[in-house]
Amino acid sequence: MPSYLVKTLYLAATLITLVIPLAHAQTGGTLTAIVQPEPTAMTSAINNTYANGVVSSNIFDGLVSYDERFNPQPSLATSWETSNDGLTITFHLRNGVKWHDGVPFTSADVKYSLEEVWKKLHARGRVTFAAVREVQTPDDFTVVLKLDHPSPVIFSAVNAVEAQILPKHLYAGTDVATNPYNVKPVGTGPFRFKEWQRGQFIALEKNPDYWDAGKPKVDKLVFRIIPDAASRSAALETGEVLYAPYNPVPLADVQRLKALPDLVIDTHGYEWQASYYFIEFNLRRPELADLRVRQAIAQAIDRKGLIDTVWYGFGKPADSPIVSSVTRFHATGLPQYPYDPARAEQLLDAAGYPRKADGVRFRINLDHQPFNDTFANSDEYVRQNLKRVGIEATVRNQDLPTFLRKVYGEYDFDINGGQFSGYSDPQMGVLRQYSSRTIKPGIPWVNASNYQNPEMDKLIEALQVQGDGPERVKSFHELQLIAQTDLPVFPLIELENFSVYSSRLGGVSQAPDGALSSLKNVWLKP
């Protein structure tokens, strides 16, 4: 989104959405889906784990949604404009929207959410909205952002999952992080919260007062929690469950399921996240603080073998924390660490960690995000690679709350791995993993490595004030060069995520953020 004048008017919905012939657009019924792992909260505003977003994006709306080309489209905001100098963004809000408890939605809710939640508690929001100096609300349906400098990233970060607007009347004056409405949410979205049976299901019901007429298409939306991957496959095959995002089945099952006429394997809906699989080094550990050790570990990992063996070809080796599909910002000619066990051993020797009598140089732990079996299998593959060069690694399996506490709260880890989202505008995602300012115990999905480089911090600060032009592209290229040189994080794989759903479903989103968007347009074929 350029910094010069931008204005989007809310034209006829038929011009910007997929039209479903009325003869085939069925309404009513129950849509049963899977969310795995079980969410920790029913809002992504305080914890943006993707499981939280999969459910809560059905309960909350954003200021905008996105079309297939990443262009913002009206949602709670019907139109907006940016001043010529890029220092003022004005959103015009939809009139007549109500919270699920009947209280009117107003500009005060947006102001509160931005100032007290997005800028203070959201892992990415503290960086994304850093330029916002003041939020003005001249009336109930106008929000004016006054910026210290142009901030084009804002328009990539105000959808229903990234910038959830919370009801001020239920949150103001409370501890947002422990507010009881985090687990019994009140939103403005197409579905209302009904019930959460821990370890079993989360039930939502149609919002009869939803502002988008005729939606949602189904009466009930039930997210089942099914920890076992084989059981998830079986539930989809039998039609017991009709929709499941984020690689819900074992990768070994994908080709077989793809051949079934009743199921669809769909890779759309993940482009907005621009995800990669990484390992992050805890630089508080003396061994890992040595760059030569980090380089050795990188060159000890056979990424092609990892992709072919564990990921069944779903991905390709990453060469940067900004994935190659983000063509505008992706840099080439960066330092790379190809698979070379002999070179890895040389580097470890030079760093002062020779093999001892038992052949072991030193021992470390490997932690992984507990989101699916593929992450655990990836750690096991890495463990075997490291063993060949004399590093004895132990894979630690744990639930999500324990992982978050150990990695982001206590920093009790050596190497942690998993999926990270750089996003279509890397300022949203990439910066937080390298900025020393995001190091804050208890805040997940930020810089856990304790990486602190004044040159990198200075570059990140520059990126946060630059307008949308060639200088910003140049800065992102420089950031990638420093990141790949210092290597606090090693991007392993550019990921290709997928959803599995029944061929009975119509209206499944093909938008770049579709996997984290509401299911309000989905309908059940007869």
pLDDT digits (tens, 9 = 90+) for 103-115: 999 999 999 999 9
Compute the average pLDDT of residues 11-33.
57
pLDDT digits (tens, 9 = 90+) for 68-77: 878 899 999 9
Q: What pLDDT sits at residue 49?
A: 85
Q: What pLDDT sits at residue 468?
A: 83
Compute the average pLDDT of residues 304-332.
94
Compute the average pLDDT of residues 384-403.
96
d(CA 175, CA 189): 23
What is the pTM assigned to this prediction? 0.78
Q: What pLDDT sits at residue 25?
A: 55
Q: Which amino acid is at 195?
A: E
Strands annotated E in 190-301? 191-197, 201-206, 220-224, 243-244, 263-266, 275-281
Tokens for 438?
Answer: 């995001």
- Cα–Cα distances in angstroms (integers) from residue 260 to residues 33, 254, 257, 318, 503, in the given order: 19, 10, 5, 32, 10
d(CA 339, CA 348): 15
- Cα–Cα distances in angstroms (integers) from residue 494 to residues 271, 312, 414, 497, 511, in the given order: 11, 13, 23, 10, 19
Select the highest-mean-pLDDT range: 147-151, 481-485, 512-516.
481-485
d(CA 104, CA 262): 42
Please give the distance of CA 184 from its chain centroid, rounded to a whole number. Answer: 22
- Does residue 19 have a pLDDT over 60? no
Give the SS3 label for residue 281: strand
Q: Which CATH topology does 272-495 take?
A: Dipeptide-binding Protein; domain 3 (3.10.105)
pLDDT digits (tens, 9 = 90+) for 262-297: 999 999 999 999 999 999 999 999 999 999 999 999
pLDDT digits (tens, 9 = 90+) for 26-62: 789 999 999 999 999 999 988 888 899 999 999 999 9
- Does residue 517 have a pLDDT over 60? yes
Q: How far is the first Cα of the chain from the last one, in angstroms, to the nearest whole number?
A: 41
Residue ranges in 240-352 assigned as alpha helix (H): 254-258, 286-289, 291-300, 303-309, 341-350
Mean pLDDT, the chain, whole residue set: 92
Model confidence at 20, pLDDT cuts 50, 70, 90, reads very low
- Does residue 11 have a pLDDT over 90? no
Compute the average pLDDT of residues 391-400.
96
